[in-house]
């Protein structure tokens, strides 16, 4: 069975440009999460979707970041006016549901974003 997939695997952009990062969760998983891993750090929570709605976007660093999941499956993380500090690996994870403590989150391979 397919795991979580993310595209592109690498993205190089220039400061000020707009980027979109895509995540395909495991089929049937209703919960989807985005994390960001900066160099030398662990992953940090950005946003969580239960179904189509963003249940918690408290981890988004500012209003340049936005994410959607219009049909409750694929999600896109959108970053406007990119800055060099946005350079990181963006990880997507999914779980069957988020309603219990013990739900395992399955991670994708990540998208490495480099802002020049």
Partner 1 sequence: DQQVKQNSPSLSVQEGRISILNCDYTNSMFDYFLWYKKYPAEGPTFLISISSIKDKNEDGRFTVFLNKSAKHLSLHIVPSQPGDSAVYFCAAKGSGAGSYQLTFGKGTKLSVIP
Cβ pair 15, 82 in contact under 8 A: yes
Q: What is the closest distance, in whole angstroms, from the C-beta atom of residue 32 to partner 1 in the complex?
A: 10
Nearest residue to 6 via CA among 26, 83, 31: 26
d(CA 26, CA 98): 14
Q: How far is the CB of 47 from partner 1 (least distance, A)?
A: 10
For 36-49, the DSSP string reads EE-TTS--EEEEEE
Binds partner 1 by CB under 8 A, chosen from 11, 34, 35, 86: 35
**57 lines the binding site for partner 1 (CB under 8 A):** no
- Residue 34 as a binder of partner 1 (CB under 8 A): the answer is no
The residues binding partner 1 (CB under 8 A) are 4, 9, 31, 33, 35, 40-45, 48, 55-56, 58-59, 91, 93, 95, 98, 101-110
């Amino acid at each position: 069975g397919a795991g979580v997939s993310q595209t592109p695997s690498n993205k190089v952009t220039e400061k000020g440009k707009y980027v979109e990062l895509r995540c395909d969760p495991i089929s049937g998983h209703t919960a989807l999460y985005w994390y960001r891993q900066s160099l030398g750090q662990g992953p940090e929570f950005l946003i969580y979707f239960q179904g189509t709605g963003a249940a918690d976007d408290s981890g988004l660093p500012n209003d340049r970041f936005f994410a959607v999941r219009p049909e409750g499956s694929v999600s896109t993380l959108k970053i406007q006016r990119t800055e060099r500090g946005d350079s990181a690996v963006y990880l997507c994870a999914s779980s069957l549901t988020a309603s219990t403590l013990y739900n395992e989150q399955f991670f994708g391979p990540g998208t490495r974003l480099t802002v020049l």
